[in-house]
Structure 1
Protein backbone atom coordinates (compact mmCIF):
# COMPACT_ATOMS: atom_id res chain seq x y z
CA UNK A 1 0.00 0.00 0.00
CA UNK A 2 1.20 3.60 -0.60
CA UNK A 3 2.37 5.31 2.58
CA UNK A 4 0.09 7.50 4.65
CA UNK A 5 2.86 10.12 4.78
CA UNK A 6 3.34 12.95 2.28
CA UNK A 7 5.53 12.37 -0.72
CA UNK A 8 9.06 13.80 -1.06
CA UNK A 9 7.73 16.42 -3.47
CA UNK A 10 5.16 17.63 -0.95
CA UNK A 11 7.85 17.67 1.74
CA UNK A 12 10.02 19.88 -0.48
CA UNK A 13 7.13 22.28 -0.99
CA UNK A 14 6.48 22.44 2.76
CA UNK A 15 10.17 22.96 3.52
CA UNK A 16 10.44 25.73 0.95
CA UNK A 17 7.49 27.64 2.44
CA UNK A 18 9.01 27.38 5.92
CA UNK A 19 12.46 28.52 4.76
CA UNK A 20 10.99 31.53 3.00
CA UNK A 21 8.88 32.44 6.03
CA UNK A 22 11.93 32.23 8.33
CA UNK A 23 14.06 34.31 5.97
CA UNK A 24 11.43 37.05 5.74
CA UNK A 25 10.94 36.99 9.53
CA UNK A 26 14.69 37.51 9.90
CA UNK A 27 14.45 40.55 7.60
CA UNK A 28 16.84 39.13 5.01
CA UNK A 29 16.71 39.29 1.24
CA UNK A 30 17.81 36.39 -0.93
CA UNK A 31 20.96 38.24 -1.96
CA UNK A 32 21.88 38.93 1.66
CA UNK A 33 21.50 35.25 2.52
CA UNK A 34 23.70 34.18 -0.39
CA UNK A 35 26.36 36.70 0.59
CA UNK A 36 26.44 35.66 4.26
CA UNK A 37 26.68 31.92 3.72
CA UNK A 38 28.89 32.14 0.64
CA UNK A 39 26.86 30.20 -1.91
CA UNK A 40 28.01 30.66 -5.48
CA UNK A 41 24.56 31.07 -7.00
CA UNK A 42 21.39 32.82 -5.88
CA UNK A 43 19.34 30.26 -7.80
CA UNK A 44 20.21 27.61 -5.21
CA UNK A 45 18.20 29.42 -2.55
CA UNK A 46 15.39 30.10 -4.99
CA UNK A 47 15.13 26.42 -5.90
CA UNK A 48 14.99 25.44 -2.24
CA UNK A 49 12.29 27.98 -1.38
CA UNK A 50 10.20 26.94 -4.37
CA UNK A 51 10.55 23.20 -3.68
CA UNK A 52 12.25 22.55 -7.01
CA UNK A 53 15.43 20.83 -5.81
CA UNK A 54 16.38 17.96 -3.54
CA UNK A 55 17.47 19.62 -0.28
CA UNK A 56 20.77 18.83 1.37
CA UNK A 57 20.52 18.58 5.21
CA UNK A 58 23.79 20.48 5.66
CA UNK A 59 22.54 23.37 3.48
CA UNK A 60 19.23 23.51 5.33
CA UNK A 61 21.02 23.41 8.68
CA UNK A 62 23.15 26.42 7.69
CA UNK A 63 20.04 28.38 6.70
CA UNK A 64 18.22 27.50 9.92
CA UNK A 65 21.20 28.64 11.99
CA UNK A 66 21.35 31.90 10.05
CA UNK A 67 17.63 32.52 10.56
CA UNK A 68 17.82 31.71 14.27
CA UNK A 69 15.24 28.92 14.16
CA UNK A 70 14.23 27.59 17.57
CA UNK A 71 15.57 24.11 18.44
CA UNK A 72 12.22 22.32 18.10
CA UNK A 73 11.53 23.88 14.69
CA UNK A 74 15.15 23.26 13.67
CA UNK A 75 14.77 19.53 14.34
CA UNK A 76 11.33 19.34 12.71
CA UNK A 77 12.54 20.94 9.48
CA UNK A 78 15.61 18.73 9.32
CA UNK A 79 13.27 15.74 9.58
CA UNK A 80 11.20 17.12 6.71
CA UNK A 81 14.44 17.61 4.76
CA UNK A 82 15.32 13.93 5.12
CA UNK A 83 11.84 12.91 3.97
CA UNK A 84 12.12 15.31 1.03
CA UNK A 85 15.23 13.54 -0.22
CA UNK A 86 14.03 9.95 0.10
CA UNK A 87 12.38 9.53 -3.32
CA UNK A 88 13.70 5.99 -3.83
CA UNK A 89 12.38 4.77 -0.48
CA UNK A 90 8.98 6.31 -1.13
CA UNK A 91 8.66 4.70 -4.56
CA UNK A 92 9.26 1.24 -3.06
CA UNK A 93 5.69 1.36 -1.79
CA UNK A 94 4.38 1.12 -5.36
CA UNK A 95 4.69 -2.16 -7.30
CA UNK A 96 4.77 -0.24 -10.60
CA UNK A 97 5.27 3.47 -11.19
CA UNK A 98 6.04 5.64 -14.20
CA UNK A 99 7.11 9.25 -14.56
CA UNK A 100 3.68 10.31 -15.83
CA UNK A 101 1.78 8.69 -12.95
CA UNK A 102 4.32 9.68 -10.30
CA UNK A 103 3.19 13.30 -10.23
CA UNK A 104 -0.36 12.29 -9.32
CA UNK A 105 0.81 9.68 -6.81
CA UNK A 106 2.95 12.32 -5.10
CA UNK A 107 -0.06 14.57 -4.65
CA UNK A 108 -2.32 11.78 -3.41
CA UNK A 109 0.08 10.40 -0.80
CA UNK A 110 -0.67 11.72 2.65
CA UNK A 111 -4.07 13.10 1.63
CA UNK A 112 -6.98 13.03 4.02
CA UNK A 113 -9.42 14.32 1.40
CA UNK A 114 -9.54 14.28 -2.41
CA UNK A 115 -12.28 15.92 -4.50
CA UNK A 116 -12.33 15.46 -8.29
CA UNK A 117 -14.29 16.52 -11.34
CA UNK A 118 -13.72 15.73 -15.00
CA UNK A 119 -16.07 16.85 -17.78
CA UNK A 120 -15.31 13.98 -20.16
CA UNK A 121 -13.43 11.17 -18.34
CA UNK A 122 -13.72 8.91 -15.33
CA UNK A 123 -10.98 10.10 -12.93
CA UNK A 124 -7.84 7.97 -12.88
CA UNK A 125 -8.37 6.71 -9.32
CA UNK A 126 -11.64 5.10 -10.42
CA UNK A 127 -10.67 3.65 -13.80
CA UNK A 128 -10.57 -0.03 -14.64
CA UNK A 129 -7.60 -1.44 -16.51
CA UNK A 130 -9.65 -1.61 -19.71
CA UNK A 131 -10.91 1.96 -19.49
CA UNK A 132 -7.42 3.23 -18.65
CA UNK A 133 -5.95 1.34 -21.60
CA UNK A 134 -8.42 2.94 -24.01
CA UNK A 135 -7.72 6.41 -22.60
CA UNK A 136 -3.92 6.08 -22.72
CA UNK A 137 -3.73 4.56 -26.19
CA UNK A 138 -6.21 7.02 -27.70
CA UNK A 139 -4.40 10.03 -26.20
CA UNK A 140 -1.06 8.91 -27.61
CA UNK A 141 -2.40 9.04 -31.14
CA UNK A 142 -2.13 12.83 -30.95
CA UNK A 143 1.37 13.68 -32.14
CA UNK A 144 2.50 10.04 -31.95
CA UNK A 145 1.90 6.84 -33.82
CA UNK A 146 -1.05 4.78 -32.63
CA UNK A 147 -0.12 3.39 -29.23
CA UNK A 148 3.47 4.59 -29.56
CA UNK A 149 5.23 4.58 -26.15
CA UNK A 150 5.71 7.98 -24.53
CA UNK A 151 8.85 8.54 -22.45
CA UNK A 152 9.83 4.93 -23.10
CA UNK A 153 6.79 3.47 -21.29
CA UNK A 154 4.48 0.93 -22.89
CA UNK A 155 0.73 1.54 -22.44
CA UNK A 156 0.43 -1.62 -20.35
CA UNK A 157 3.07 -0.33 -17.93
CA UNK A 158 1.30 3.02 -17.70
CA UNK A 159 -1.98 1.24 -16.95
CA UNK A 160 -0.40 -0.79 -14.16
CA UNK A 161 1.11 2.35 -12.66
CA UNK A 162 -2.30 4.02 -12.70
CA UNK A 163 -3.85 1.01 -10.98
CA UNK A 164 -1.08 1.06 -8.35
CA UNK A 165 -2.22 4.52 -7.28
CA UNK A 166 -5.75 3.26 -6.64
CA UNK A 167 -4.81 1.18 -3.60
CA UNK A 168 -4.96 4.31 -1.42
CA UNK A 169 -8.79 4.21 -1.63
CA UNK A 170 -8.78 0.94 0.33
CA UNK A 171 -5.73 1.72 2.46
CA UNK A 172 -6.24 0.87 6.12
CA UNK A 173 -6.71 2.41 8.55
CA UNK A 174 -6.35 5.88 7.08
CA UNK A 175 -7.81 5.83 3.57
CA UNK A 176 -8.62 9.38 2.41
CA UNK A 177 -12.14 10.66 2.02
CA UNK A 178 -12.76 10.65 -1.73
CA UNK A 179 -15.52 12.49 -3.59
CA UNK A 180 -15.97 12.63 -7.36
CA UNK A 181 -18.52 14.21 -9.65
CA UNK A 182 -18.89 12.11 -12.80
CA UNK A 183 -20.36 13.62 -15.92
CA UNK A 184 -22.84 11.36 -17.69
CA UNK A 185 -20.80 11.92 -20.86
CA UNK A 186 -17.78 10.21 -19.25
CA UNK A 187 -19.79 6.99 -19.22
CA UNK A 188 -21.36 7.47 -22.64
CA UNK A 189 -20.93 5.30 -25.69
CA UNK A 190 -18.12 7.39 -27.16
CA UNK A 191 -15.87 6.53 -24.19
CA UNK A 192 -15.07 2.98 -25.25
CA UNK A 193 -16.31 -0.44 -26.39
CA UNK A 194 -19.45 -1.74 -24.64
CA UNK A 195 -17.60 -4.41 -22.65
CA UNK A 196 -15.11 -1.81 -21.37
CA UNK A 197 -17.86 0.57 -20.32
CA UNK A 198 -19.84 -2.15 -18.60
CA UNK A 199 -16.78 -3.25 -16.61
CA UNK A 200 -16.18 0.38 -15.64
CA UNK A 201 -19.78 0.79 -14.46
CA UNK A 202 -19.56 -2.37 -12.37
CA UNK A 203 -16.39 -1.08 -10.68
CA UNK A 204 -18.01 2.28 -9.95
CA UNK A 205 -20.91 0.47 -8.29
CA UNK A 206 -18.45 -1.39 -6.06
CA UNK A 207 -16.43 1.71 -5.22
CA UNK A 208 -19.58 3.66 -4.36
CA UNK A 209 -20.19 1.19 -1.53
CA UNK A 210 -16.89 2.00 0.21
CA UNK A 211 -17.45 4.09 3.37
CA UNK A 212 -14.83 6.68 2.37
CA UNK A 213 -15.96 7.07 -1.27
CA UNK A 214 -18.80 9.33 -2.45
CA UNK A 215 -19.76 9.42 -6.11
CA UNK A 216 -22.17 11.82 -7.82
CA UNK A 217 -23.37 11.47 -11.41
CA UNK A 218 -24.13 14.76 -13.15
CA UNK A 219 -26.80 14.26 -15.84
CA UNK A 220 -25.94 15.98 -19.11
CA UNK A 221 -28.87 18.44 -19.08
CA UNK A 222 -28.64 19.48 -15.42
CA UNK A 223 -28.12 23.18 -14.74
CA UNK A 224 -25.11 24.09 -12.58
CA UNK A 225 -25.54 27.23 -10.47
CA UNK A 226 -26.48 30.21 -12.58
CA UNK A 227 -25.84 28.38 -15.88
CA UNK A 228 -22.18 27.79 -14.99
CA UNK A 229 -20.15 25.51 -17.27
CA UNK A 230 -16.90 24.09 -15.78
CA UNK A 231 -14.21 24.54 -18.47
CA UNK A 232 -11.62 22.06 -17.18
CA UNK A 233 -11.06 18.99 -15.06
CA UNK A 234 -9.66 19.64 -11.59
CA UNK A 235 -8.78 17.92 -8.33
CA UNK A 236 -8.57 19.32 -4.80
CA UNK A 237 -6.20 17.84 -2.23
CA UNK A 238 -6.17 18.31 1.54
CA UNK A 239 -3.37 16.67 3.53
CA UNK A 240 -3.00 15.00 6.92
CA UNK A 241 -0.53 17.62 8.13
CA UNK A 242 -2.49 20.89 8.40
CA UNK A 243 0.69 22.84 7.66
CA UNK A 244 1.05 21.19 4.25
CA UNK A 245 -0.67 23.55 1.78
CA UNK A 246 -3.91 22.49 0.15
CA UNK A 247 -3.43 22.04 -3.59
CA UNK A 248 -5.56 22.27 -6.71
CA UNK A 249 -4.51 20.37 -9.84
CA UNK A 250 -6.05 21.73 -13.04
CA UNK A 251 -6.00 19.29 -15.95
CA UNK A 252 -5.63 20.55 -19.47
CA UNK A 253 -5.63 18.46 -22.60
CA UNK A 254 -1.85 17.97 -22.58
CA UNK A 255 -0.64 20.22 -19.74
CA UNK A 256 -1.46 20.15 -16.02
CA UNK A 257 -1.14 23.06 -13.59
CA UNK A 258 -0.69 22.78 -9.80
CA UNK A 259 -1.43 25.67 -7.44
CA UNK A 260 -1.54 26.33 -3.70
CA UNK A 261 -2.68 29.94 -4.18
CA UNK A 262 -5.60 30.68 -1.85
CA UNK A 263 -7.80 32.54 -4.35
CA UNK A 264 -7.52 29.76 -6.93
CA UNK A 265 -8.27 27.11 -4.32
CA UNK A 266 -11.33 28.94 -3.02
CA UNK A 267 -12.77 29.39 -6.50
CA UNK A 268 -12.47 25.70 -7.31
CA UNK A 269 -13.95 24.78 -3.93
CA UNK A 270 -17.01 26.89 -4.75
CA UNK A 271 -17.31 25.28 -8.18
CA UNK A 272 -17.08 21.81 -6.65
CA UNK A 273 -19.88 22.66 -4.21
CA UNK A 274 -22.02 23.79 -7.15
CA UNK A 275 -21.29 20.53 -8.96
CA UNK A 276 -22.17 18.37 -5.95
CA UNK A 277 -25.40 20.31 -5.42
CA UNK A 278 -26.44 19.94 -9.08
CA UNK A 279 -25.49 16.27 -9.36
CA UNK A 280 -27.50 13.28 -8.18
CA UNK A 281 -27.17 12.41 -4.47
CA UNK A 282 -24.94 9.44 -3.63
CA UNK A 283 -27.85 7.00 -3.19
CA UNK A 284 -29.48 8.04 -6.47
CA UNK A 285 -26.09 7.84 -8.17
CA UNK A 286 -25.70 4.20 -7.14
CA UNK A 287 -29.14 3.44 -8.55
CA UNK A 288 -28.23 5.27 -11.77
CA UNK A 289 -25.01 3.27 -12.11
CA UNK A 290 -26.79 -0.04 -11.53
CA UNK A 291 -29.48 0.77 -14.10
CA UNK A 292 -26.89 1.97 -16.63
CA UNK A 293 -24.95 -1.27 -16.18
CA UNK A 294 -28.07 -3.29 -16.93
CA UNK A 295 -28.98 -1.25 -19.98
CA UNK A 296 -25.46 -1.51 -21.35
CA UNK A 297 -25.34 -5.28 -20.85
CA UNK A 298 -28.63 -5.70 -22.68
CA UNK A 299 -27.64 -3.45 -25.56
CA UNK A 300 -24.24 -5.09 -25.97
CA UNK A 301 -25.67 -8.60 -26.10
CA UNK A 302 -28.63 -7.85 -28.37
CA UNK A 303 -27.15 -5.61 -31.05
CA UNK A 304 -24.13 -3.69 -32.14
CA UNK A 305 -26.22 -1.05 -33.89
CA UNK A 306 -26.70 1.05 -30.77
CA UNK A 307 -22.95 1.41 -30.33
CA UNK A 308 -21.90 1.52 -33.96
CA UNK A 309 -19.16 -0.59 -35.52
CA UNK A 310 -16.35 -1.99 -33.39
CA UNK A 311 -13.76 -0.02 -35.37
CA UNK A 312 -13.90 3.39 -36.94
CA UNK A 313 -14.88 3.44 -40.62
CA UNK A 314 -12.12 4.00 -43.17
CA UNK A 315 -12.03 7.63 -44.24
CA UNK A 316 -12.36 8.27 -47.95
CA UNK A 317 -9.76 10.99 -47.91
CA UNK A 318 -6.82 11.36 -45.55
CA UNK A 319 -7.04 14.77 -43.91
CA UNK A 320 -3.79 16.68 -43.44
CA UNK A 321 -2.84 17.39 -39.84
CA UNK A 322 -3.17 20.96 -38.67
CA UNK A 323 0.53 20.93 -37.80
CA UNK A 324 1.34 20.20 -41.45
CA UNK A 325 -0.80 22.99 -42.91
Structure 2
Protein backbone atom coordinates (compact mmCIF):
# COMPACT_ATOMS: atom_id res chain seq x y z
CA UNK A 1 0.00 0.00 0.00
CA UNK A 2 1.12 3.61 -0.54
CA UNK A 3 3.09 5.78 1.87
CA UNK A 4 1.08 7.19 4.79
CA UNK A 5 -0.68 10.48 4.22
CA UNK A 6 -3.16 12.76 5.94
CA UNK A 7 -6.95 12.34 5.82
CA UNK A 8 -9.92 14.34 7.08
CA UNK A 9 -13.33 12.97 8.04
CA UNK A 10 -16.08 15.59 7.88
CA UNK A 11 -19.11 14.58 9.93
CA UNK A 12 -16.85 12.44 12.12
CA UNK A 13 -19.29 12.49 15.06
CA UNK A 14 -22.22 11.10 13.03
CA UNK A 15 -23.09 7.43 12.67
CA UNK A 16 -21.35 7.04 9.30
CA UNK A 17 -18.41 9.25 10.20
CA UNK A 18 -17.71 7.30 13.39
CA UNK A 19 -17.85 4.05 11.43
CA UNK A 20 -15.39 5.38 8.83
CA UNK A 21 -12.94 6.15 11.65
CA UNK A 22 -13.46 2.67 13.10
CA UNK A 23 -12.89 0.97 9.73
CA UNK A 24 -9.76 3.02 9.01
CA UNK A 25 -8.32 1.55 12.21
CA UNK A 26 -9.55 -1.98 11.55
CA UNK A 27 -8.04 -2.08 8.07
CA UNK A 28 -4.80 -0.43 9.19
CA UNK A 29 -5.20 2.34 6.63
CA UNK A 30 -1.82 4.07 6.06
CA UNK A 31 -2.29 7.38 7.85
CA UNK A 32 0.18 10.04 8.80
CA UNK A 33 -2.56 12.22 10.32
CA UNK A 34 -6.30 11.88 10.87
CA UNK A 35 -8.32 15.08 11.24
CA UNK A 36 -11.84 14.77 12.65
CA UNK A 37 -14.12 17.63 11.62
CA UNK A 38 -17.69 18.44 12.59
CA UNK A 39 -20.18 21.26 13.03
CA UNK A 40 -19.82 23.85 15.74
CA UNK A 41 -22.42 21.96 17.82
CA UNK A 42 -20.45 18.70 17.66
CA UNK A 43 -16.90 20.03 17.80
CA UNK A 44 -15.03 19.03 20.93
CA UNK A 45 -16.39 15.48 20.87
CA UNK A 46 -13.63 12.86 21.17
CA UNK A 47 -13.44 9.57 19.27
CA UNK A 48 -11.09 6.65 20.01
CA UNK A 49 -8.48 5.84 17.36
CA UNK A 50 -5.52 3.48 17.81
CA UNK A 51 -5.42 3.86 21.57
CA UNK A 52 -5.84 7.62 21.60
CA UNK A 53 -8.79 9.99 21.82
CA UNK A 54 -8.97 12.39 18.88
CA UNK A 55 -11.00 15.55 19.30
CA UNK A 56 -13.29 16.76 16.53
CA UNK A 57 -12.78 20.37 15.43
CA UNK A 58 -14.97 22.76 13.47
CA UNK A 59 -14.84 22.28 9.73
CA UNK A 60 -15.28 25.98 8.97
CA UNK A 61 -11.69 26.99 9.70
CA UNK A 62 -9.93 23.86 8.44
CA UNK A 63 -7.13 24.20 5.87
CA UNK A 64 -7.71 21.37 3.36
CA UNK A 65 -4.21 21.75 1.94
CA UNK A 66 -3.08 19.80 5.03
CA UNK A 67 -4.68 16.59 3.78
CA UNK A 68 -4.67 14.56 0.58
CA UNK A 69 -8.12 13.04 0.96
CA UNK A 70 -11.36 13.97 2.71
CA UNK A 71 -14.45 11.89 3.46
CA UNK A 72 -17.60 14.04 3.48
CA UNK A 73 -20.24 12.35 5.66
CA UNK A 74 -22.10 15.37 7.04
CA UNK A 75 -24.97 15.97 4.61
CA UNK A 76 -25.43 17.56 1.21
CA UNK A 77 -25.31 21.19 2.37
CA UNK A 78 -21.90 20.72 4.02
CA UNK A 79 -20.56 18.90 0.97
CA UNK A 80 -21.68 21.64 -1.40
CA UNK A 81 -20.12 24.28 0.85
CA UNK A 82 -16.76 22.70 1.61
CA UNK A 83 -15.98 20.07 -1.06
CA UNK A 84 -15.12 22.75 -3.69
CA UNK A 85 -12.77 24.34 -1.16
CA UNK A 86 -11.08 20.98 -0.57
CA UNK A 87 -10.66 20.32 -4.29
CA UNK A 88 -9.22 23.78 -4.85
CA UNK A 89 -6.65 23.02 -2.14
CA UNK A 90 -5.58 19.87 -4.01
CA UNK A 91 -7.49 17.45 -1.75
CA UNK A 92 -9.46 14.58 -3.29
CA UNK A 93 -13.02 14.16 -2.00
CA UNK A 94 -15.18 11.09 -1.37
CA UNK A 95 -18.70 12.39 -0.85
CA UNK A 96 -21.30 10.25 0.92
CA UNK A 97 -24.17 12.75 0.82
CA UNK A 98 -25.37 12.49 -2.78
CA UNK A 99 -24.80 16.22 -3.18
CA UNK A 100 -23.28 15.95 -6.66
CA UNK A 101 -24.74 14.50 -9.85
CA UNK A 102 -23.01 11.82 -11.88
CA UNK A 103 -21.51 14.33 -14.30
CA UNK A 104 -19.78 16.11 -11.41
CA UNK A 105 -18.67 13.09 -9.39
CA UNK A 106 -18.03 9.50 -10.47
CA UNK A 107 -20.15 6.97 -8.59
CA UNK A 108 -17.99 4.12 -7.30
CA UNK A 109 -18.43 0.66 -5.81
CA UNK A 110 -14.97 -0.94 -6.02
CA UNK A 111 -16.26 -4.49 -6.57
CA UNK A 112 -18.19 -3.27 -9.63
CA UNK A 113 -16.61 -0.31 -11.43
CA UNK A 114 -13.14 0.38 -10.05
CA UNK A 115 -11.90 0.70 -13.65
CA UNK A 116 -13.41 4.20 -13.73
CA UNK A 117 -10.32 5.44 -11.90
CA UNK A 118 -7.92 4.28 -14.61
CA UNK A 119 -5.81 7.12 -15.98
CA UNK A 120 -7.18 9.74 -13.60
CA UNK A 121 -5.16 11.87 -11.23
CA UNK A 122 -5.78 13.95 -8.13
CA UNK A 123 -7.61 15.89 -6.97
CA UNK A 124 -10.69 13.79 -7.67
CA UNK A 125 -14.34 14.27 -6.70
CA UNK A 126 -15.93 10.87 -6.18
CA UNK A 127 -19.38 9.92 -4.96
CA UNK A 128 -20.26 7.09 -2.60
CA UNK A 129 -23.70 5.68 -3.52
CA UNK A 130 -26.51 5.58 -1.03
CA UNK A 131 -26.49 2.40 1.05
CA UNK A 132 -29.50 0.99 -0.80
CA UNK A 133 -27.95 1.36 -4.26
CA UNK A 134 -24.67 -0.14 -3.03
CA UNK A 135 -26.41 -3.26 -1.72
CA UNK A 136 -28.59 -3.75 -4.79
CA UNK A 137 -25.77 -3.15 -7.25
CA UNK A 138 -23.48 -5.65 -5.53
CA UNK A 139 -26.16 -8.34 -5.86
CA UNK A 140 -27.33 -7.49 -9.39
CA UNK A 141 -24.03 -6.69 -11.12
CA UNK A 142 -22.91 -10.36 -11.17
CA UNK A 143 -26.15 -11.26 -12.97
CA UNK A 144 -25.82 -8.82 -15.89
CA UNK A 145 -23.85 -11.29 -18.02
CA UNK A 146 -26.29 -14.17 -17.54
CA UNK A 147 -29.60 -12.28 -17.48
CA UNK A 148 -31.01 -9.64 -19.79
CA UNK A 149 -32.65 -7.61 -17.01
CA UNK A 150 -35.65 -5.66 -18.30
CA UNK A 151 -37.12 -4.35 -15.08
CA UNK A 152 -36.34 -4.18 -11.36
CA UNK A 153 -39.04 -3.85 -8.71
CA UNK A 154 -37.70 -3.27 -5.21
CA UNK A 155 -39.18 -2.63 -1.81
CA UNK A 156 -36.45 -1.24 0.43
CA UNK A 157 -37.04 -1.75 4.15
CA UNK A 158 -34.84 0.97 5.58
CA UNK A 159 -33.44 1.07 9.11
CA UNK A 160 -33.91 4.23 11.15
CA UNK A 161 -30.13 4.80 11.11
CA UNK A 162 -30.55 5.74 7.44
CA UNK A 163 -31.61 9.12 8.84
CA UNK A 164 -28.72 9.33 11.30
CA UNK A 165 -28.61 9.57 15.06
CA UNK A 166 -31.96 11.34 15.21
CA UNK A 167 -33.71 8.31 13.74
CA UNK A 168 -31.95 5.91 16.11
CA UNK A 169 -32.73 8.07 19.14
CA UNK A 170 -36.36 8.46 18.14
CA UNK A 171 -36.93 4.71 17.78
CA UNK A 172 -35.23 4.06 21.13
CA UNK A 173 -37.29 6.76 22.87
CA UNK A 174 -40.60 5.66 21.37
CA UNK A 175 -39.90 2.02 22.22
CA UNK A 176 -39.13 2.90 25.84
CA UNK A 177 -42.29 4.99 26.12
CA UNK A 178 -44.50 2.22 24.78
CA UNK A 179 -42.90 -0.54 26.88
CA UNK A 180 -43.29 1.61 30.00
CA UNK A 181 -46.93 2.35 29.21
CA UNK A 182 -46.29 6.08 28.76
CA UNK A 183 -48.05 8.27 26.19
CA UNK A 184 -46.12 8.32 22.94
CA UNK A 185 -45.14 11.69 21.51
CA UNK A 186 -43.61 11.54 17.99
CA UNK A 187 -40.85 14.11 17.50
CA UNK A 188 -38.41 13.27 14.71
CA UNK A 189 -40.98 11.27 12.72
CA UNK A 190 -44.49 12.58 12.19
CA UNK A 191 -46.05 9.47 13.70
CA UNK A 192 -45.26 6.30 15.65
CA UNK A 193 -42.35 4.33 14.16
CA UNK A 194 -41.80 1.87 17.02
CA UNK A 195 -43.62 -1.42 16.36
CA UNK A 196 -44.92 0.11 13.14
CA UNK A 197 -44.17 0.51 9.43
CA UNK A 198 -44.11 3.85 7.65
CA UNK A 199 -44.93 3.83 3.94
CA UNK A 200 -42.34 6.44 2.97
CA UNK A 201 -38.91 7.74 3.98
CA UNK A 202 -38.72 11.51 3.66
CA UNK A 203 -41.06 13.94 1.93
CA UNK A 204 -42.33 12.92 -1.53
CA UNK A 205 -42.34 15.26 -4.52
CA UNK A 206 -45.46 16.29 -6.41
CA UNK A 207 -45.50 12.90 -8.12
CA UNK A 208 -45.35 10.96 -4.87
CA UNK A 209 -41.70 9.86 -5.13
CA UNK A 210 -39.46 10.34 -2.07
CA UNK A 211 -35.83 11.52 -2.37
CA UNK A 212 -34.45 8.12 -1.27
CA UNK A 213 -36.43 6.42 -4.03
CA UNK A 214 -35.27 8.78 -6.76
CA UNK A 215 -31.66 8.51 -5.63
CA UNK A 216 -31.86 4.71 -5.56
CA UNK A 217 -33.23 4.52 -9.12
CA UNK A 218 -30.66 6.94 -10.53
CA UNK A 219 -27.66 5.35 -8.78
CA UNK A 220 -28.65 1.77 -9.59
CA UNK A 221 -28.87 2.57 -13.29
CA UNK A 222 -25.48 4.28 -13.15
CA UNK A 223 -23.73 1.48 -11.26
CA UNK A 224 -25.13 -1.25 -13.50
CA UNK A 225 -24.35 0.83 -16.63
CA UNK A 226 -27.99 0.32 -17.72
CA UNK A 227 -29.28 3.88 -18.23
CA UNK A 228 -32.61 2.73 -19.71
CA UNK A 229 -33.34 0.09 -17.07
CA UNK A 230 -36.89 0.31 -15.73
CA UNK A 231 -36.77 0.51 -11.94
CA UNK A 232 -39.71 0.80 -9.56
CA UNK A 233 -38.59 1.58 -6.00
CA UNK A 234 -40.56 1.93 -2.78
CA UNK A 235 -38.65 2.84 0.38
CA UNK A 236 -40.41 2.12 3.66
CA UNK A 237 -39.31 2.90 7.21
CA UNK A 238 -39.09 -0.14 9.45
CA UNK A 239 -38.50 -0.22 13.23
CA UNK A 240 -34.97 -1.61 12.95
CA UNK A 241 -31.96 0.31 14.28
CA UNK A 242 -29.33 -0.93 11.81
CA UNK A 243 -29.55 -3.07 8.68
CA UNK A 244 -31.52 -2.45 5.49
CA UNK A 245 -33.40 -5.27 3.78
CA UNK A 246 -34.75 -5.53 0.25
CA UNK A 247 -37.38 -7.58 -1.54
CA UNK A 248 -36.44 -7.60 -5.24
CA UNK A 249 -38.17 -8.90 -8.34
CA UNK A 250 -36.40 -8.91 -11.71
CA UNK A 251 -38.15 -9.28 -15.06
CA UNK A 252 -35.79 -10.76 -17.64
CA UNK A 253 -35.93 -11.34 -21.39
CA UNK A 254 -35.25 -15.08 -21.12
CA UNK A 255 -35.98 -18.01 -18.84
CA UNK A 256 -33.99 -17.78 -15.63
CA UNK A 257 -31.32 -20.44 -15.15
CA UNK A 258 -31.50 -20.67 -11.37
CA UNK A 259 -28.38 -22.80 -11.00
CA UNK A 260 -26.33 -20.29 -13.00
CA UNK A 261 -27.76 -17.38 -11.00
CA UNK A 262 -26.77 -19.06 -7.72
CA UNK A 263 -23.31 -19.84 -9.08
CA UNK A 264 -22.76 -16.18 -10.01
CA UNK A 265 -23.99 -14.91 -6.66
CA UNK A 266 -21.87 -17.42 -4.76
CA UNK A 267 -18.72 -16.20 -6.55
CA UNK A 268 -19.49 -12.46 -6.40
CA UNK A 269 -17.16 -10.26 -4.29
CA UNK A 270 -18.94 -8.52 -1.43
CA UNK A 271 -21.85 -10.97 -1.53
CA UNK A 272 -22.69 -13.90 0.75
CA UNK A 273 -25.23 -16.36 -0.69
CA UNK A 274 -27.30 -18.05 2.00
CA UNK A 275 -28.13 -21.71 1.48
CA UNK A 276 -31.51 -22.57 0.01
CA UNK A 277 -34.10 -23.16 2.71
CA UNK A 278 -32.59 -20.50 4.95
CA UNK A 279 -32.70 -16.70 4.78
CA UNK A 280 -30.68 -13.82 6.26
CA UNK A 281 -31.93 -11.11 8.61
CA UNK A 282 -30.39 -7.73 9.47
CA UNK A 283 -30.04 -8.40 13.21
CA UNK A 284 -29.00 -12.04 13.01
CA UNK A 285 -26.64 -11.79 10.06
CA UNK A 286 -25.89 -8.41 8.50
CA UNK A 287 -25.17 -5.94 11.30
CA UNK A 288 -21.45 -5.46 11.77
CA UNK A 289 -20.58 -7.50 8.69
CA UNK A 290 -18.81 -6.51 5.48
CA UNK A 291 -20.98 -8.28 2.90
CA UNK A 292 -24.45 -8.15 1.40
CA UNK A 293 -26.41 -11.28 2.29
CA UNK A 294 -28.64 -12.78 -0.42
CA UNK A 295 -31.32 -15.39 0.17
CA UNK A 296 -34.69 -16.70 -1.03
CA UNK A 297 -33.45 -16.85 -4.63
CA UNK A 298 -36.34 -18.18 -6.69
CA UNK A 299 -38.09 -18.00 -10.04
CA UNK A 300 -41.57 -16.57 -10.39
CA UNK A 301 -44.53 -18.72 -9.44
CA UNK A 302 -45.99 -18.59 -12.94
CA UNK A 303 -43.32 -16.76 -14.95
CA UNK A 304 -39.97 -18.45 -15.67
CA UNK A 305 -38.54 -15.09 -16.77
CA UNK A 306 -38.98 -13.63 -13.30
CA UNK A 307 -36.39 -13.82 -10.51
CA UNK A 308 -36.99 -12.85 -6.89
CA UNK A 309 -34.38 -12.28 -4.19
CA UNK A 310 -34.11 -11.11 -0.60
CA UNK A 311 -31.11 -8.98 0.46
CA UNK A 312 -29.92 -7.54 3.73
CA UNK A 313 -26.82 -5.59 4.73
CA UNK A 314 -25.50 -3.22 7.39
CA UNK A 315 -26.54 0.12 5.90
CA UNK A 316 -24.05 2.18 7.90
CA UNK A 317 -21.08 -0.15 7.63
CA UNK A 318 -21.18 -2.02 4.31
CA UNK A 319 -23.63 0.26 2.57
CA UNK A 320 -21.78 3.50 3.37
CA UNK A 321 -18.59 3.63 5.44
CA UNK A 322 -16.81 0.50 4.21
CA UNK A 323 -17.49 1.30 0.57
CA UNK A 324 -16.01 4.77 1.07
CA UNK A 325 -12.88 3.36 2.71
CA UNK A 326 -12.51 0.79 -0.09
CA UNK A 327 -12.66 3.66 -2.60
CA UNK A 328 -9.95 5.44 -0.60
CA UNK A 329 -7.80 2.31 -0.70
CA UNK A 330 -8.03 2.35 -4.48
CA UNK A 331 -7.10 6.03 -4.57
CA UNK A 332 -3.92 5.67 -2.53
CA UNK A 333 -2.60 3.04 -4.91
CA UNK A 334 -1.68 5.79 -7.35
CA UNK A 335 -4.39 8.39 -7.74
CA UNK A 336 -3.78 10.77 -4.79
TM > 0.5: no
Q: Which has the larger Rg? A: 1
Scaled by the length of structure 2, the TM-score of the pair is 0.28
Q: Which has the higher helix share?
A: 1
